[in-house]
Chain A
Amino acid sequence: AQSVTQPDIHITVSEGASLELRCNYSYGATPYLFWYVQSPGQGLQLLLKYFSGDTLVQGIKGFEAEFKRSQSSFNLRKPSVHWSDAAEYFCAVGDPYSGGGADGLTFGKGTHLIIQP
């Protein structure tokens, strides 16, 4: 069974500083990988996705993520955070052999990002 681990429950970053959120997955092959963001009381918004090809993917709001097969990781990065980035971030995997990106996703437990002024 596939699983996703987000090792950091909370992360505090100063505004303007760089950010890296960690995500490790367990899966028999290379899954489809996603990062979603959730603001309080809101649903999930897709930041970026990896299906295949270039292992460095660019997303919305200045985020990027790098897929590292050898480490089974898909870490999210941003060079300079803004106060509006404070939210909950979820990494998710999908099965490329069934429904692909439309399949039932497996999510990590999330990382709560706090931005210090």
Chain B
Amino acid sequence: DAGVTQSPTHLIKTRGQQVTLRCSPKSGHDTVSWYQQALGQGPQFIFQYYEEEERQRGNFPDRFSGHQFPNYSSELNVNALLLGDSALYLCASSRRPGTSNQPQHFGDGTRLSIL
């Protein structure tokens, strides 16, 4: 049973560029959440997707956007990259909010470095 998978593992971009990160949820999960973890910090919630719609959003600018596909996989897009966007981006999957008290399962993350 595959867990949450993320790609790529590492990515290097320059300021002003755009990036797309990808996530496949754990089998049986239909909800995907994205988190940003800066060095030495705890993860911060970016947003959550369920039924192909953004359901919840943390305190992140509109440069951060996402998408969920019919197979429940998800993408995180970041436009106009800033140096401060350098971080580990974590994807977490779970079952539909409110239907069961199931915790989120995390992938190993994508390490994004901005030069």
Interfacial residues, chain A to chain B (CB-CB below 8 A)? 4, 32, 34, 36, 41-46, 49, 51, 90, 92, 98-110
Contact at B42–A102, with CB atoms within 8 Å? no
Contact at A103–B101, with CB atoms within 8 Å? no
Binds A, one of B11-19, B66-74, B78-86, B89-97: B89-97
Name 12 A/B residue pairs within 8 A (Cβ), A-sorted.
A4-B42, A44-B106, A46-B103, A46-B105, A51-B101, A99-B98, A101-B100, A102-B94, A102-B103, A104-B56, A105-B35, A107-B43
A31 to chain B, nearest CB (A): 12
B52 located at the interface, meaning its Cβ lies under 8 Å from any Cβ of chain A in the complex: no
Q: Smallest CB-CB separation from B29: which chain A residue?
A: A102
B61 to chain A, nearest CB (A): 16
- For chain B, give the interface size range: 20 to 34
Chain A residues within an 8 Å CB radius of B95: 102
Contact at A34–B103, with CB atoms within 8 Å? yes
For the residues of A in contact with B, the DSSP-based class is mixed
Contact at A41–B101, with CB atoms within 8 Å? no
Chain A residues within an 8 Å CB radius of B47: 104
A111 to chain B, nearest CB (A): 10
Contact at A49–B103, with CB atoms within 8 Å? yes
Known: A43-B107, A45-B106, A49-B103. A101 touches B45 (CB 8 A): no
Q: Smallest CB-CB separation from A104: which chain B residue?
A: B45
Contact at B109–A43, with CB atoms within 8 Å? yes
Chain A residues within an 8 Å CB radius of B109: 42-43
Known: A43-B90, A43-B109, A45-B106. A100 touches B45 (CB 8 A): no
Chain B residues within an 8 Å CB radius of A99: 31, 48, 55-56, 97-98
For A44, give its contact among B45, B55, B90, B102 (CB under 8 Å): B90
Q: Which of B34-50 contact A (CB under 8 A)?
A: 35, 40-45, 47-48
